[in-house]
Structure 1
Amino acid sequence: WDVRFPSRNCFTNVFSSNCRNRPIDLVFIIDSSRSVRRAEFEKAKEFLQDMVDSLEIGSDATRVGLVNYASTVQIEFLLKTYFQKSSLKQALARVEPLASGTMTGMAIKTAMEKAFTAEAGARVSSVNIAKVAIIVTDGRPQDNVEEVAAAARASGIEIYAVGVDRADMMSLRLMASPPHDEHVFYVETYGVIEKLTSKFRETLCGLDPCAQGHSCQHICVNNDYSYYCKCHAGYVLNQDKRTCSRKSFNHCLILFYFLFLWSDLAPDNQCSKGSDPCARGHNCEQICINSDDSYICSCRVGYVLNADKKTCSRKNTNTCDKVCYLDTCSDACAHGHDCQHICENSNNSYICKCREGYELNADQKTCSVKKLDGMICMCGGFQNLLVTCASANVGMDMC
């Protein structure tokens, strides 16, 4: 197959516009061992420059560092060194190969311990800024990469592995973050490595902020290179914009919904209380009367409402007004009275009377035994408190 790719200048023009990628701390780890020829190393550097062209570079945007390795490891510049795209590309152009050896594991360890630190310019305190390492190599590592790569990934570094020519695919998979089909790349020669620029631009510009870590209790929604939180159905977002609380439902509406589905069910009386303020609870001492969505307190006949509009006190009178409720007048005595013996309705009020043998006291409420000529009927030596001798129509010796 004769596959032709655009020239470097063409790639530079196509990808030179900034993508609004989420700010990341990006460290290139580049193999410059003896197997990488000078011309191939230059191609690798051009690939890195094209990558920089495609990103938004700055102290508050993406920061870039470079680790160069062979049998030794050298940090060419740190994340805090360059915040201008032009100076960063010039620094990449000046990098020289180190020659023999392929100590990839040592390079990853150095990047983890020295390049991705706060002292080196990494923004370790921010959970919203991803740490990304891109390894470019053409050979098999001469040291152990599995354990050190696992440690780097565990520390929060997302690793992409780019293999060229003779690169060992198994080693690339041991280094890269999962899923491997998104983090492991291979090209036949350094001459076509530039074709990965578009792939990385798509990947880095499309970084998933939610996948990088978020503080949403329920649902994280990507929003450009940030995110916002949402809640599951039946919940509402709290004021902290992160956590969720269950919605307050009207149980009566839910019940009537099921009554609609199963019409043979009878309505629950509890729901009718939803429109009855008095039924929901009140603080009236005697009578509660619904009034729109609230209630007012009233008193029984013979009582008046106190200033607190809740409690009642007895009227200082022997009469009381007749009560009418909903245009239906009722028995004044039946609504309550102060009579000791007998209550008798009288027009719109009532009067008190005493049983036979008693007379009404001055308070017009209580009764006392009636006295006739100082005589009280005696029956068997006991006072008859119910009748007088005259009313009994009997003699002193008969009761």
Structure 2
Amino acid sequence: VHPAVSQLDEVEMVSLVWKVVVFGILAAGSQGSLPQPRSHRRVSTGRYDLSADLESVEAQSEKATRTNCKNRPIDLVFIIDSSRSVRPVEFKKAKEFLQDMVDSLVIGRDATRVGLVNYASTVKIEFLLNTFFDKSSVKQALGQVEPLASGTMTGMAIRTAMEKAFTKEAGARSASMNIAKVAIIVTDGRPQDKVEEVSATARASGIEMYAVGVDRADMASLKLMASQPHDDHVFYVETYGVIEKLTSKFRETLCGLDPCDQGHNCQHICVNSGDSYICKCHPGYILNPDKKTCSRADACTQGHDCQHICVNSRDSYVCQCRTGYVLNTDKKTCARSDPCALGHDCHHICENSDASYVCKCRAGYVLNTDQKTCSRSDPCSQGHDCQHICVNSDASYMCKCEVGYVLNPDKKTCSQEMRSEISEDACMCEAQIVFQKKVQSAIQELTRKNILF
């Protein structure tokens, strides 16, 4: 007997009646399987001799369980047998073992997800893969699980986990994502229902089964549940007092080697991907075709929401507008600009013109050569149709005639003024006066015709 075992007190010896732990790992092809431990598990007459490795395990266990491995994401479901034969102190040890397992993994929405199925003669799903996404919550939930009752319906528990715990609705990720699915079952000795058929179905669906028995566990049942080769998938320990020492063994299986830690040629970031790794770049950079080096990203070519012009700015971009437009407050869309509203130096009137403006003058004024100020206009100098004299009048003009002429009714042309001396002689007859007026009118008419033609 190993010294570590011989020193156990009576209470601890009573608790050393561990059962079976079955690990199921979904293998998505050869790349979906978890890496096998580097050291080969030794099996003697169908049982793993833990005591031979106890010294090295004791030295490494605490460090292994407290260190997060950079494992690939896993969908992990614990299946615990809480039948009456599992005493409270033993059930507590079982939960502590599972908590140690969780402690050695990276838990998160995009990392490892954990669920729990509790069973005896009935099956109860305590929490699913999409219930908790942080390590502390998972460990707390594991610690709060209570035993159910009598019975050891291991086969029913395996089927429930396979059909309900590993579904998309329960938080399991699709096989195309190449994420392993793991089920850990803790059972009390010999199953009370058939496990061979359901285990075969699980293995055929891609689940890799690991079985760990404690004390009185039935080795034949363990092998019926476990995948081949049994040397790598069947474990056995003598007591509950040393079951936590298996944590480092399973950690080695779940974590495997860290490809990035083994060395890589990524310029920026190395990300583990299965048994290998991929390179990624810091924000603002894109991966070059060699899949190793990075170049500064052209943010605009990656897609933008600028209405007019996208301009790269460090690791992002800014929007600008074409000439004649201004950027709206949303910093994305553009509106036609109003240069006059932004300020101008026009004396009278400012009118927008594309991206600039022009100055104009009010009626009666003309724009000066500086194209900004205005002066009172000279309509006559702008052109007129007066026969004799043009006279400015506000914003227009009027025509006048030279001395000796009178303005005709068209307000433009002029006619010679005819002066008649009307005698006041009483002897002058009325016929003479009429004749003089007719002559004067005839002369004016002839004068008008000469001007027009």
Superposition TM-score, scaled by structure 2 size: 0.45
Q: 1:174: which partner in 2? A: 224
Shift of 1:127: 4.2
Q: Structure 1: which amino acid aligns with 2:233? A: H
Secondary structure at the residue paired with 2:124? Answer: strand
Counterparts of 1:380-391 in structure 2 under 5 Å? none
> Are 2:20 and 1:2 equivalent residues in the alignment?
no
CA contact (8 A) 2:83 2:152 kept: yes
Q: What secondary structure is seen at the aligned counterpart in 2 of 1:56? A: coil
1:226 equivalent in alignment to 2:268:
no
**Aligned-residue CA RMSD (Å):** 2.8
Q: 1:198 aligns with which of 248, 251, 264?
A: 248
Cα distance change, pair 146–117 in 1 and its aligned pair in 2 (3 A): same
Aligned to 2:68: 18
Residue 156 (structure 1) shift? 1.9
1:21-170 correspondence runs (5 A): 21-170=71-220
8 A Cα contact 1:27 1:134, kept in partner: yes
- Superposed, which structure 2 residues align to 1:328-347 within 5 Å? none
- Contact 1:138/1:165 (CA < 8 Å) preserved in 2? no
Q: Are the equivalent residues in 2 in contact too, given 1:12–1:53 (CA < 8 A)?
A: no
The alpha carbon displacement at 1:208 in A equals 11
Cα gap change, 1:192 to 1:98, in 2 (>3 Å): same
User: Could you list the per-position Cα deviations for residues 25-61 of structure 1 after superposition, in whole angstroms to 9, with x for gaps in the alignment?
Assistant: 1111111111111100100000000000000111111
Map 1:207-226 onto structure 2 (within 5 A): 224-226=272-274
Tell me how far apart the structure 1 counterparts of residues 241 and 276 of structure 2 sit (CA, whole Å): 42
Identity, % of aligned positions: 77
Q: Aligned in 2, Cα 1:36/1:173: closer, same or farther, shift over 3 Å?
A: same
Separation (CA, whole Å) in 1 of partners of 2:244 and 2:191 = 23
**How far 1:115 moved relative to its partner?**
0.3
Partner SS, residue 34 of structure 1: coil
Tell me if the contact between 2:77 and 2:182 (Cα under 8 Å) persists in the aligned partners.
yes
Tell whether 2:236 aligns with 1:186.
Answer: yes
Task: Describe the shift of the 1:44–1:182 C-alpha distance in structure 2 as closer, same or farther (beyond 3 A).
Answer: same
- The secondary structure found in structure 1 opposite 2:75 is strand
The answer for the alignment partner of 1:292 in structure 2 is none
1:227/1:192 Cα in 2 relative to 1: closer, same or farther (>3 Å)? Answer: closer
Partners of 1:94 and 1:100 in 2: CA distance:
19
Matches of 2:257 and 2:185 in 1, distance apart?
18
Q: Which whole-Å deviations, capped at 9, do the CAs of 1:227-247 have from their partners, x for residues lacking one?
A: 569xxxxxxxxx9x9xxxxxx
Distance in 1 separating the partners of 2:249 and 2:235: 10
Distance in 1, matches of 2:255 and 2:65, equals 12
Which residue of structure 2 aligns with residue 335 of structure 1?
none
Q: Give the conservation status (yes or no) of the 8 Å contact 2:258–2:272.
A: no
Distance in 2 (CA, whole Å) between partners of 1:161 and 1:42 is: 20
Whole-angstrom CA distance in 2 between matches of 1:26 and 1:208: 20
Q: Greater RCO between the two (CA within 8 Å, min separation 6)? A: 2
Structure 2 CA distance for partners of 1:22 and 1:168, relative to 1, 3 Å: same
Q: Which runs of 4+ in 1 moved over 6 A?
A: 5-8
Q: Matched residue of 2:176: which SS?
A: coil
Separation in 2, partners of 1:19, 1:225: 14
The number of aligned residues is 218
Assess if the C-alpha contact under 8 Å between 1:20 and 1:225 holds in 2.
no
Distance in 2 of aligned mates of 1:3 and 1:166: 22
Residues in 2 aligned to 1:195 and 1:44: alpha-carbon distance in whole angstroms: 12
Decide which structure has the larger Cα Rg and report it. 2
**Match for 1:175: what amino acid?**
M
Deviations 1:79-118 (A, max 9, x none): 1111110011000000011120100000000000000000
TM-score scaled to structure 1, two decimals? 0.51
Change over 3 Å in CA distance of 1:179–1:121 after alignment to 2: same
Q: Could you say which residue in structure 1 is the equivalent of 2:45?
A: none
CA contact (8 A) 2:71 2:258 kept: no
Structure 1: stretches of 5+ with no match in the other structure = 210-222, 230-238, 242-399
Instruction: Return the letter of the residue paired with 2:139.
Output: K
Instruction: Tell me: CA distance 1:47–1:68, structure 2 relative to 1, closer, same or farther (3 Å).
Output: same
